[in-house]
A and B are shown apart, each in its own frame.
Chain A
Amino acid sequence: MREVVSVRNVDFRYNSDNVLSDISFEVSRGDYLGIVGPNGSGKTTLLKLILGYYKPTRGEIEVFGKKPENLKERDLIGYVPQITAGKIVSFPATAKEVVLMGLVSQKKFPKAIRREDEKKAEEILEMMNMVDLKERMVGELSGGERQKILLCRALIHDPELLILDEPVTALDPESRQEFYLLLERINREKEVTIMMVTHDTGEIGNYATKLLYLDRRVIFFGSLENFCQSEEMTRFFGEYSQHIICHRHDRRPWLS
């Protein structure tokens, strides 16, 4: 199984604060990793380290076998950041313009957007049932619709690794289910590796195959089955919290 992300003994300090200590884990092709943990546990920082936005104070990170800052094949990664609603609301771009931004880095100079690119953007929007909104300005969309637009932007260049930072926060329960099922389909059918930071512990257990519980250090990393069967984790989290993650809900039939 091909290694997609490898994090070895990583520390990250910000000023004098130890944000992350001795983080080690590996993500293989086709994994669906849920990253959970309390606020301030370093989840978003970890994603930014993997993306090369920050450099580790100690340790090594490899993405597709290369240091993140040296990874030229950036189209292998699709990234959906935490939604910055304030800025996006006032940004004068249409939904389609935002989706097309996802193609910019892989295009050759002078990076002109062509008719086939626009067609591809429309196909992705169609897949998300968003094509009717393509000419709407992003500020006129709801939080959930904006989140889907950012997912379309991440998917338009056919990434092999999809990194998502709390993507379902702005979604209502129905859109949330729809979003999870879509990710699951992308993960299974296209074997896209998924790493998702989420606070939605009630749902992540339904979809993720692996779990990383972070609290500035790795509390747990492994398969969901191991997490659910681990007595150590029961002692650490308590039965109730473990049950929230491990309990599998019935999926709504009309969505699946």
Chain B
Amino acid sequence: MVELIKEPFVIRALLCGLIISIVLSGLGVFLVLRRLSLIGDGLAHVSFGGVSLGILLGRFPIYVAMAISVLTSLGILKVKKIAHIHSDTAIGIVSSLGIASGVILSSLAGGFNIDIFSYLFGSILSVTDTDILISTIFATIFLSYLFLFYNDLLSTTFDEELAYAEGINVDRINAMLAILTGVTVVLGMKIVGLLLVTSLLILPAATSLQISRNFKATLFLSMAFGALSVILGILLSLVLDLPSGAMIVVVNFGVFLLTLLFPGGKPVSAN
């Protein structure tokens, strides 16, 4: 086990996983509270289309997926506002379209191959130094955004209409959140894969919401649970020789179950 941890690919996977999990689980708190939990799924499906397009073109599948994911994330926001439809409907529409275009494009690219599968289920073996660098830069952007706009984010997440009435630039805050989500979902696919990336957005946040007593604690605990699950999940996957993405989700769910045992964790209305 100790020998294994010294392997460069494991160190890269742990480092990249740690960085991405902090961003995903931090963003997850805002998305879960905004009833946008499934946006990760929608964007992941669209990113599948992007990856397939990249493979078909033979160029930068991750960056193609990232661009499409960000545009889709902003699109969901716009459609929700203009068409007055619920976010789950907008997510459902892009989700199915993403999968459909992914299947068509990957078929044109010569069918499902090992490349596509590594994006779908994650591949910690493929984490490169460049991935770590990009993740670090992106995590720095995310944490700066969180630090500088924390109160705007909190207020907008609590109630958009009220935040707007009080003079907060709700559109700007939402657009920034959409861009960050679009990029992070794609970065997360290296670690857990496109099909499981939503788990890192939802489970740490849902776990944290069970036991937190204020908003800051919810945010920090979510990030801590996300990081813990990724580290434990990767290590367990190496020991048990099982897929790392799936192990991360299992560990995440285990932590969630543990917090359910806390008595009185979830607030109960006094009504």
> Chain A: residues with CB nearer than 8 A to chain B?
48, 51-53, 72, 74-75, 77, 79, 81, 84-85, 87-94, 97-98, 100-102, 104-107, 109-113, 135, 137-143, 145, 153, 157, 163
Q: Are B267 and A137 in contact (CB under 8 A)?
A: yes
For B32, give the chain A residue with the smallest CB separation: A90
The answer to whether A98 and B158 touch (CB under 8 A), given A51-B165, A92-B214, is yes
Contacts of A81 in B (CB 8 A): 159, 161-162, 165
Interface segment out of the listed B20-28, B146-154, B179-187, B188-196: B146-154
Q: Could you pull out 10 A-B pairs where Cβ atoms are within 8 angstroms?
A: A48-B161, A85-B269, A92-B217, A92-B218, A97-B215, A104-B151, A109-B148, A110-B147, A142-B269, A153-B162
**Min C-beta distance of A130 to chain B, whole Å:** 13
Docked pose: A105 CA to B155 CA in angstroms: 9
Interface size on B, residues (CB 8 A): 32
Docked pose: A137 CA to B212 CA in angstroms: 10
Docked pose: A190 CA to B66 CA in angstroms: 53
Q: Which of B158, B209, B214 has the most CB of A within 10 A?
A: B158
Contacts of A157 in B (CB 8 A): 166
Contacts of A111 in B (CB 8 A): 149-152
Query: With contacts A101-B166, A102-B166, A111-B152 known, what are 19 further pairs, Cβ within 8 A?
Result: A74-B165, A74-B166, A77-B165, A79-B165, A79-B166, A87-B159, A90-B209, A93-B154, A100-B151, A104-B152, A104-B155, A104-B168, A105-B167, A137-B213, A139-B269, A140-B268, A142-B270, A153-B162, A163-B165
The answer to whether A91 and B147 touch (CB under 8 A), given A101-B154, A140-B268, is no
Q: Are A91 and B269 in contact (CB under 8 A)?
A: no
Contacts of B151 in A (CB 8 A): 100-101, 104, 107, 111-113
Q: Are A92 and B164 in contact (CB under 8 A)?
A: no
Q: Are A140 and B167 in contact (CB under 8 A)?
A: no
**Min C-beta distance of B219 to chain A, whole Å:** 9
| B271 interface residue (CB < 8 Å to A) | yes
**Which B131-152 residues sit within 8 Å CB-CB of chain A?**
147-152
Q: Which of B218, B268, B269 has the most CB of A within 10 A?
A: B269
**Min C-beta distance of B263 to chain A, whole Å:** 14
Q: Are B164 and A53 in contact (CB under 8 A)?
A: yes
Docked pose: A95 CA to B154 CA in angstroms: 13
Docked pose: A163 CA to B269 CA in angstroms: 26
**Which B104-163 residues sit within 8 Å CB-CB of chain A?**
147-152, 154-155, 158-159, 161-163
Docked pose: A207 CA to B261 CA in angstroms: 50
Docked pose: A41 CA to B168 CA in angstroms: 29
Docked pose: A128 CA to B213 CA in angstroms: 22
